A = this chain, B = another copy of it.
């Protein structure tokens, strides 16, 4: 068991590491050459232009103003200075609310830590249980509940504290839910007109032998929403097309690369092999080869587009139906349309950027089956993921390799390589798995058939949290694989489970403190350095960039990654709540994490990340629910712990706690969750009336505006790659009026998902 001084040393090391990251960041950040890596958001907004245009060459690359090095931490107050409303305007509500998760952490844990240190630490410390026992113990254990003798009256303190902490957490959560629900509704109300406010996504349009999907949708909504229906857009199955576009883009990149290479070194024409991965096949002229490939793909894309336009089979049984009023859309999204509740399913259309086009045409039965399969797959992933890894590990030992490939023996027997294999290979399988886990979970969500990216990310986050809870939290407490735990739990009596876990919790405090420092502190500090984007940008800059436009494409602002970051935070909430009563010394470490992460992510959101979509904080119910789960888990574990301490008279009081917490959760769910799921008619009507008074002849304009908002991004790519400008729809409409959100950047932002570019919302024409 680690002593207090061990922890201090570890803390010092981690603080120094974090400090080193910050210094590195401060130095790199102010170099003009890195400007696009550390401030891409401002470039995308068009508010910052390349510092490389002006001044001497040296000044363009390296910052020689040494005064700026002295102020190397001044980004911190700068990050905190931007007020929240401006932040929402600058980076969207999703990002602003995401930051509030850290803020909530601070609000919950700072008062809890203060109370715990003034009341509980003295109560724990003034006992002599550990001193009089034969156990080895550390100073940290003296501060924890372990120091209280079995059956002592002092457990009442912990009981009262558990009540107080629960009450405080619930209070903060309720306040926060209230504020965020208000922010969401305010955001939706104050926002400029968006196509998704008027539009409903209709899925599972039944097949009809006499009518096309488009006619069927039109007739259905003309009959059933006669006063409100405005227009609709069918969904084309453009999956093949987007693959082609994707491929063309890759070839184009290679073409650019070779052209650049040639232009730098005119003496030698670049050549390549045309076979698999450029490793085999005939040697050809690279520029010619890729030029012809790009040309071929352009032709194929045009053909495919024509095919999609003419073939009724490429129209999927789904449509985006737009209404004349927000009221009409709100009504349609919230009601059941047809007798058969699995047909004509309506839901709010996600933002155009947020649509996950692949999944729009999945029928209801298939959805049910997919859900089942994925649930079973996730169960096995969580509890049995160790098995394939152990298999790989067993292959990756020296003897195994020698047996499999005997001719490599002389090399393997070399000392350096042998120790490398023995020390590194077994771990690497697990590491690779953990790196790919978020992608695996994302893939699962995609298979499950959600129709918007935000929903995909939310579901992945939930799964990631469950995985972490079982494999990191429980796995660290009850050492052993998840499957062994499961086996143990099944064969253990129901009241033994919280006891087993509860009893081992105090002993694991030092482990988790180290975990928080390494994973939390150093992780957050590493986040700000953006090492990978930094390297990638400079590589691309060197290899591909010819024009300013290419340079813009080379910078990769990235986005928040809700599906990986949020479950990580939740782990800290869980640790904080579980240890608040048991070992309060853990709390300061968590508070430092939350404070640091808050500042760092605020900086990143302001300067770096570019939001891919705006879901108006639709994820908050999930966040709230997981903190509540953590709270209930902490209560159950405390119950288990106290019952092993023979403070059994408190059991009834402890059982009351989760019951109250659950009912509080249900209350919050009923009170606040609808604001995140439905759209109140009162709001819709208010907005409609206001708008109608401002613009009396709205409907005509609205139709033009809505007609083209929901088009598969590949059909909109006309401005990007000149050759495939012929789009299926009648194209961009009369004129582009810049809105507040308009970006003055040269190229539209490349989106992760489709590979081809999507025009930003503002490029959709509005006749105001």
Which residues from chain A sit less than 8 Å from chain B, CB to CB?
185, 220, 223-225, 227, 327, 330-331, 334-339, 341-342, 344, 364-365, 368, 371-372, 375-376, 489-496, 659, 663, 666-667, 670-675, 678-683, 685
Contact = CB atoms under 8 A, between A and B. Distances in A.
Contacts of A674: 336, 341
A337 B674 CA distance: 11
A341 B670 contact: yes
Contacts of A341: 670-675, 678, 680
A693 B301 CA distance: 52
B224 A666 contact: no
B493 A682 contact: no
A682 B339 contact: yes
- Tell me whether chain A's interface is mostly helix, strand or loop, or mixed: helix
A336 B330 CA distance: 9
A278 B334 CA distance: 60
A337 B672 contact: no
A667 B489 CA distance: 30
A663 B371 CA distance: 9
Contacts of A681: 224-225, 335-337
- Copies per complex? 2
Contacts of A220: 682
A493 B495 contact: no
Nearest to A334: B335
A335 B330 contact: yes
A57 B19 CA distance: 110
Contacts of A364: 670-671
Contacts of A368: 663, 666-667, 670
Contacts of A670: 341-342, 364, 368
Given A334-B334, A334-B335, A372-B663, A490 B493 contact: yes
Contact of A334 (B336, B365, B667): B336
Nearest to A672: B341
A337 B494 contact: no
Most buried by B among A490, A492, A680: A680
A336 B492 CA distance: 46
A334 B333 CA distance: 10
Given A224-B685, A331-B335, 8 more contacts: A336-B679, A336-B681, A338-B680, A339-B675, A341-B670, A341-B672, A492-B494, A493-B496
Contacts of A678: 335-336, 341
Contacts of A489: 494
Q: Name the 8 nearest CB pairs between A and B, nearest first.
A: A341-B674, A372-B663, A336-B678, A334-B335, A368-B667, A490-B495, A493-B493, A336-B680
A603 to B, nearest CB: 34
B339 A683 contact: yes
Contact of A376 (B331, B339, B659, B680): B659
A638 to B, nearest CB: 17
A489 B494 CA distance: 7
A375 B489 CA distance: 28
Given A335-B330, A342-B671, A667-B368, A227 B224 contact: no
A373 to B, nearest CB: 9
A376 B660 CA distance: 10
A371 B664 CA distance: 11
Nearest to A675: B341
Contacts of A342: 670-671
Most buried by B among A335, A365, A490, A491: A335
Nearest to A367: B670
Nearest to A189: B339
6 contacts: A335-B678, A336-B680, A337-B681, A337-B682, A338-B682, A493-B496
B685 A223 contact: yes
A227 B666 CA distance: 35
Contacts of A344: 682
Contact of A494 (B330, B334, B494, B675): B494
A685 B339 CA distance: 12
A674 B345 CA distance: 12
Contacts of A679: 336
A230 to B, nearest CB: 16
A447 to B, nearest CB: 16
A174 to B, nearest CB: 12
Contacts of A673: 341
Nearest to A186: B339
A344 to B, nearest CB: 8
A457 to B, nearest CB: 23
Contacts of A494: 489-494
Nearest to A662: B372
Nearest to A497: B494
A678 B335 CA distance: 8
A624 to B, nearest CB: 15
Nearest to A491: B493
Contacts of A490: 493-495
A647 to B, nearest CB: 18
Contacts of A492: 493-494
Nearest to A228: B227
A685 B675 CA distance: 28
Contacts of A338: 680, 682
A680 B337 contact: yes
Nearest to A342: B671
Contacts of A335: 330-331, 334-335, 678, 680-681
A671 B659 CA distance: 33
B339 A185 contact: yes
A197 B468 CA distance: 50
A680 B223 CA distance: 13
Nearest to A667: B368
Most buried by B among A371, A492, A675, A682: A682
Contacts of A672: 341
Contacts of A663: 368, 371-372, 375
Nearest to A227: B227
A185 B679 CA distance: 28
Nearest to A365: B667
